[in-house]
Chains A and B, each alone.
Chain A
Amino acid sequence: MMTGSRKLLILGGMAFAALGMLYGLQYALLVEHQTLDHMGGSLSQSFAAAASRNAGESQAALEQYGETKYDYVRQVDAHSHWIGLATLMIVLGVIFERVNFSEGIRQLVAFSLLAGSALFPLAIILQTYHHGALVWKALAVVGSGLIIAALAATAWGFARPGTTG
């Protein structure tokens, strides 16, 4: 039977997988190549400026490299985590009736996984707009906490004896 919790996980998972792929596609098409060029170019420029004994330019280019890499790592992380979490949601959606809790608790667990899977990659992307902003780091922690709590509950539900419909 397709319960509410299963629908939430499967439909949400498919939506996140498509979203993650679309995000990765637009990033690969419009941003990634330029970012990689910029990242390599900044580091190269930093070394070249040092060879020309221009310490100020070398330092500025190195900082530019650090900032570009900070963004790049998070953009790739957001893309891969969105798709990875979507896959996890769909897999769990197929077998969620084996989680031995009442449907109400299963829906709560499913919603926690859905909310965490939306918030965590989103917070990672938002960090690229405000480097080091505590609020987005906190949001990422909340998102990952929701996912871990939901998965721990799911593992517990699988291990519990007896079955619930």
Chain B
Amino acid sequence: MPAIPRPFPDSASLAPTLAAGFAPLSARRLYIFGGIALIAGGLLFGDIFAVFILHQNAARQGEALSAASRAIAAGNAAAVNEWFGHLGNVLEDRGTKVDAHVHIIGAGYLALLLALVQPYIALSRQTKKSLAALFIAGGVLLPVGIFLIHYIGLSGSPFSTIGWASVLADSAGALLTLVLILQAWGFWKYVRSRQLSEPELGDEDSMSRRALLTGGTILVLLGLLHGAYYSGALLYEHERMETAILQRLISAATVGNLDAATAEINNFGNLAGARAVNIAAHSHIIEFGLLAMLLSFVQPLVFLSEKWKRRWVKLLLGGSVILPVFVLLELKLGMLAGGIADIGGLMVMVSLVGMLVGILRYSGGLDVAETDVAEADAAEGA
């Protein structure tokens, strides 16, 4: 992080109304810090998953299917069941990690969103603070619970299908839902009273803010259009293809034609890959669009020079385009595109951390200014 030739904010340099809504340990501060940290953590987890687990997991799925088809050829039903037990384990390993990645980022987005709507939540300051702490705790515990499902399984659980990790994840999900319902109730109270409970975030019209807002809206729109194309042109076709491939695989294995069975397993893998990259491109471009829009609101709190703010914005928007485009290109370019997509994710993560540093500078300066005022008051009193 280069030195920025600007002093830390003091009580004179900060808009008093903006600072009032960003007091130490206020709900808004908890939501913003917690939200950005959750999103950056989720992106890091996703990158680690994509590099070290995703492709290896797909290979293990292929191996299990191949072994199951050999068991069919040998007429060994017990071995088939054994290999499917193994396949289920491999799929659970992948599924819980994808879910953990999605839910930690989703909770981060909701936290940023709740930071924005705090002025319109007509609840006491202490209640809002407690709700924010509960929300961040739920946002951490939900993905942790999901992640642990694969490792804890049903051990020690009194239930037949739900293990303790699922109980943790479901409880955290219930906590998040409860907080959201209470926020909606607070908003309903505001609609009736029309009294802002704290100042709104600043309404500065900077280049970085406009770029994030416009870029974010365009990214979301592109994602929706891609989703509409995928569901209209490919989704049903892919579903039909999956059953047809499995049918041909079973038929080939039954007559002992293992070469044909292997070819169908490859087709199955390619189909799974095509579905995965389309869904990943659709969801990532929309999520990054939403992230850009959300980050446009907190720009007044990013205490960096406009030049550095723009750099982080360009990095974020660049990464937001690179990741989904190169995820889609993985079908044609293979691992090279996958590597470039991972770099796109890294770019978004770095820009998020850069903005978080700017917000930390802002809040640190604010806290120092408040401490100075308190000390001056105390000295005057003495």
Please list the residues of chain A having a beta carbon within 8 angstroms of any beta carbon in chain B: 2, 7, 10-11, 14-15, 17-18, 21-22, 24-25, 28-29, 33-34, 37, 40, 43-44, 46-53, 55, 58-59, 62-63, 65-66, 69-70, 73, 80, 83-84, 87-88, 90-92, 94-95, 98, 140-141, 144, 147-148, 151-152, 154-155, 158-159
Does any Cβ of A come within 8 Å of B253's Cβ?
yes
Answer yes or no: B165 CB below 8 A from chain A CBs: no
Residue B14 interfacial (CB < 8 Å) = no
Query: In the complex, what distance in Å separates the CA atom of A140 from the CA atom of B227?
Result: 12
B90-127 toward A: CB 8 Å interface, digit per residue (1/0)?
01000000000010001001100100110010000000
- The residue in chain B whose Cβ has the minimal distance to the Cβ of A14 is B184
Contact B254 A95 (CB under 8 A): no
Asked if B373 is at the interface (CB within 8 A of a chain A CB), the reply is no
Which residues 56-94 of B sit at the A interface, judged by CB distance below 8 A? 68-69, 71-72, 74-77, 79-81, 84-85, 87-88, 91
With A11-B187, A63-B243 already in contact, the answer to whether A44 and B290 are too (CB < 8 A) is no
User: Contact: B80 with A44, CB < 8 Å?
Assistant: yes
**Which residues of B lie under 8 Å from residue A94 when comparing CB positions?**
116-117, 297
Q: Is the CB of B191 within 8 A of A11?
A: yes
In chain B, residues 280-298, which have Cβ atoms closer than 8 Å to a Cβ of chain A?
283, 286, 290, 293-294, 296-297
The answer to whether B176 touches A52 (Cβ under 8 A) is no
- Residues of B near A29 (CB, < 8 A) are 162, 170
Given A28-B170, A33-B162, A88-B220, are A50 and B250 neighbors across the interface (CB < 8 Å)? yes
User: Which one, B162, B254, B293, contacts A91 given CB within 8 A?
Assistant: B293
Contacting pair B250 A144 (CB below 8 A): no
Given that A24-B173, A29-B170 are known contacts, is A51 also in contact with B180, CB under 8 Å in the complex?
no
Which residue of the partner chain A has the closest CB to B69?
Answer: A47
Is B113 in contact with A91, judged by CB distance below 8 angstroms?
Answer: yes
